[in-house]
């Protein structure tokens, strides 16, 4: 039987056990990298760099992990903030507009041609992308997502509803649209 | 639920691919800061040193004190001589431990 996340965390904190830390990384790397790929609009290299940074921050922050939330929830919180910091750094002198990609007409036309949910998801603002990924791909509850992203639970619910509306709008067949 | 909505929901719930670790975890480990000293080892070292120090003190301090008092050209009370012996026995491993801790940094 494999060690629980909590047991591995305890070993890392007590003895700086690198074997336990490696097990934690191996166990969660796929989910974290997929999550960051989603946020980074499938920029694989950037997602991998951010994932590495996430795990290094995790190592530094483990002594402060109190176990109040699930370990994965805590880890996705670090990943999300790592992405946001990187995003802000990339947009110096440019207003941090999460919706800037949403207005691209050519993308809209491309997305409208098929039920391409993944591409449509890329057009959502970063926070909604995070909410959708954690809900649908990681199976988190609304309260777990609120905890991970440090959002009110009402915001999580409304992000899901509004995101669905946008996806439906974007994925509607082209011939069915008035424009 | 319309067909479109059903399709979107199904696509959203499709499992994501499991990414192979490849060299990812190795690269993360390579970027970690140097390893801390094992605190368990440190605790055992301290406990062992304390036990050894107590044993040595109990065994050798009184005879050493007596020998020191008899060899000294001055009149040193046996109790004071024993105290000096105890201090020497305790301080030598103590100083060595402090030195090794400094060297480890």
Annotated domain spans of chain A: 1-94, 104-179
Q: Which residue of A has its CA nearest to B36?
A: A16
Collect all residues of chain A within an 8 Å Cβ-Cβ radius of residue B43.
none
Task: Tell me the fold of A104-179.
Answer: Arc Repressor Mutant, subunit A (1.10.10)
Residue B49 has pLDDT above 60, yes or no: yes
Most confident of A44-48, B11-15, B72-76, B99-103: A44-48
Give yes or no for B22 touching A (CB within 8 A).
no
Per the document, the length of chain A is: 179
Please state, for a pLDDT cut of 70, what percent of chain B lies above it. Answer: 85
CA end-to-end span of chain B, whole Å?
65
Report the alpha-carbon distance of residue B23 to residue A5 in Å, rounded. Answer: 21
Residue with the bigger pLDDT between A124 and B96: it is: A124
Cβ within 8 Å, pair B24-A172: no
Residue B61 has pLDDT above 80, yes or no: no
Q: Is the confidence metric ipTM above 0.85 for this complex?
A: no
Task: Tell me the fold of A1-94.
Answer: Rna Polymerase Sigma Factor; Chain: A (1.10.1740)
- Split at pLDDT 50, 70, 90, the class of A153 is very high
Report the alpha-carbon distance of residue A98 to residue A88 in Å, rounded. Answer: 11
Q: What is the pLDDT of residues A89-147, one digit of tens each?
A: 887 544 444 444 444 444 444 444 334 788 889 999 999 999 999 999 999 999 999 99
Residue with the bigger pLDDT between A56 and B1: it is: A56
Mutation to test the A interface, candidates B1, B15, B16, most A Cβ within 10 Å: B16
What residues contact B5, with CB distance under 8 A and at least 6 apart? A164, A168
pLDDT for the residue numbered B69: 73
Residue A49 has pLDDT above 90, yes or no: yes
pLDDT for the residue numbered B1: 57
């Amino acid at each position: 039987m494999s060690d629980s996340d909590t047991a591995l965390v305890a070993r890392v904190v007590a003895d700086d056990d690198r074997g336990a830390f490696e097990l934690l990384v191996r166990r969660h790397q796929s989910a974290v990298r997929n999550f960051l790929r989603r946020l980074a609009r499938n920029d694989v290299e950037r997602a991998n760099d951010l994932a590495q940074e996430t795990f290094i921050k995790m190592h530094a922050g483990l002594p402060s992990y109190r176990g109040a939330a699930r370990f994965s929830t805590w880890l996705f919180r670090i990943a999300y903030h790592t992405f946001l910091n990187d995003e802000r750094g990339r947009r110096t002198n440019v207003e941090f507009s999460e919706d800037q990609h949403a207005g691209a007409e050519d993308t809209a036309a491309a997305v409208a041609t098929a039920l391409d949910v993944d591409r449509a998801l890329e057009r959502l603002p970063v926070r909604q992308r995070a909410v959708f990924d954690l809900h649908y791909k990681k199976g988190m509850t609304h309260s777990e997502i609120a905890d991970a992203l440090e959002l009110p639970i009402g915001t999580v619910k409304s992000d899901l509803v509004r995101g669905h509306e946008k996806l439906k709008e974007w994925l509607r067949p082209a011939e069915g649209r008035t424009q | 639920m319309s067909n479109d909505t059903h399709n979107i929901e199904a696509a959203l719930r499709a499992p994501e691919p499991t990414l192979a670790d490849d060299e990812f975890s190795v690269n993360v480990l390579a970027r970690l800061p140097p390893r801390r000293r094992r605190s368990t080892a440190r605790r055992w070292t301290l406990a062992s040193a304390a036990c050894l120090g107590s044993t040595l003190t109990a065994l050798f301090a009184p005879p050493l004190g007596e020998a020191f008092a008899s060899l000294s050209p001055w009149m040193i009370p046996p109790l004071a001589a024993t105290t000096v012996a105890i201090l020497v026995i305790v301080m030598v491993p103590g100083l060595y431990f402090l030195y090794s801790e400094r060297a480890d940094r």
